[in-house]
Amino acid sequence: MDTTGVAVQVMSDSISAWFWIALGEAIVILLLLTARRKSIPREFIGMDKRDMKNTGDSANMQNIVDSIAKSKELYRELSRKCHPDRFVNTNLQQVAEEIFKEVSRNRRNYQKLLSLKQIAIEKLNLKF
């Protein structure tokens, strides 16, 4: 066998070795990807992303920052002024109870508290 023949033989051996190494790596990568896919929980199967994205106006960052800055103060003011005990034995007691419940439920949502303040002004004749 001449030198050219030997070179071709060595090259084909090395290509074959690299091919098997690459194939092994591909198999390992596929196994890892499958394991990772299985490890991710699937609670949201069947839910459409677009439905979940449709969150309305409440999911804006201005409301979040306003809630961080001002909601505590507004909640205290509303819970004090709309407390049902202030309307005992009047025809506004029921309304005050409902507003107070809503205020307590939305104590960390500034936008909702503002709308409840408006309702309290209209229905309970309060002045802020």
Partner 1 sequence: MWYRLILISEWFGEMNERYKLIRDFNRESKLAFISGSVPTLLEAKITKGDSAFRHEFSKFLGGGLRIKALTGTELSRQEMEEIGAIVLANEGMVRKLIVLGWDTLEIHDSIGAFGLKWKLKNYAHTGGLLNARK
Residues binding partner 1 (CB under 8 A): 40-47, 49, 52-53, 55-56, 58-72, 108-109
Residue with Cβ nearer partner 1 (16 or 58): 58
Return the number of the residue (29 or 69) whose C-beta is nearest partner 1. 69
Q: Sign of the C-alpha dihedral, residues 11, 15, 16, 18?
A: positive
How many whole angstroms separate alpha carbon 103 and alpha carbon 117?
Answer: 9
Contact 96, 80 (CB under 8 A): no
- Tell the smallest beta-carbon distance from residue 86 to partner 1 (Å): 26
Provide the minimum distance between the beta carbon of 122 and partner 1 in the complex, in angstroms, as a whole number.
25
- The distance of closest approach from Cβ of residue 59 to partner 1 in the complex, given in angstroms and rounded to an integer, is 4
What is the C-alpha separation between 86 and 76, in angstroms, rounded?
A: 15
Q: In which residue are the tokens 């071709």 written?
A: 8
Which one, of 18, 123, 42, lies nearest residue 78 by Cα?
Answer: 123
Q: Which is nearer to partner 1, 1 or 52 (by Cβ)? A: 52
Q: Which two tokens stand for residue 110?
A: 């500034």
CB of 76 or CB of 108, closer to partner 1: 108
| Least CB distance to partner 1 at residue 118 (A) | 20
